[in-house]
A = this chain, B = another copy of it.
Amino acid sequence: MKNKQKQSQLRDVRDVLDVIGGRWKAAILASLCDSEKRFNELKNDLGEITPRTLTKELRYLELNHLVQRTTAPNNAVAVIYQLTEHGHSLNPVIATLVKWGKKHRKEVLNIGNVGE
């Protein structure tokens, strides 16, 4: 901290956290990782999410170029969402997180209790 180097790195970490944080973003990206999906497809896949929230999350992901929204030219009622190249580039990052996450779970479970 204090020095510019660390501050800049913190900012970068914050950015990534914003992009995959919150209750839904990671799940949405995971769902779209398989294949492109329609709005209601996504909604069903995610389960509990409300349309309002799904819309907001998708808009945010669009702004960050992780997801691309496409309206079918002939039929405006068909909208598909898919990952962009940039979105796919998140994959190895996620993989790293998953790996450490598993390690972390072990660590926390085997030393004692976790509480929650």
A86: contacting residue among B16, B21, B86, B104, CB under 8 A = B104
Report the bound CA distance from A13 to B30 in whole Å: 11
CA of A93 to CA of B115 in the docked complex: distance in angstroms? 25
Copies held by the complex: 2
Ordered nearest first, which 8 A-B pairs have the shortest CB separation?
A12-B101, A1-B31, A12-B98, A96-B96, A15-B101, A16-B97, A93-B100, A16-B101
Supposing A86-B104, A105-B15 touch, asked if A9 and B98 sit within 8 A by C-beta, the answer is yes
Q: A6-B30, A115-B63 are in contact. Are A104 and B13 (CB under 8 A)?
A: no
A contacts with B: majority SS: helix
| 8 further interface pairs, Cβ-Cβ under 8 Å (given A12-B102, A15-B104) | A1-B30, A1-B31, A13-B101, A17-B17, A17-B97, A63-B108, A63-B114, A65-B111
The answer for the CA separation of A17 and B13 in the assembled complex, in Å, is: 11
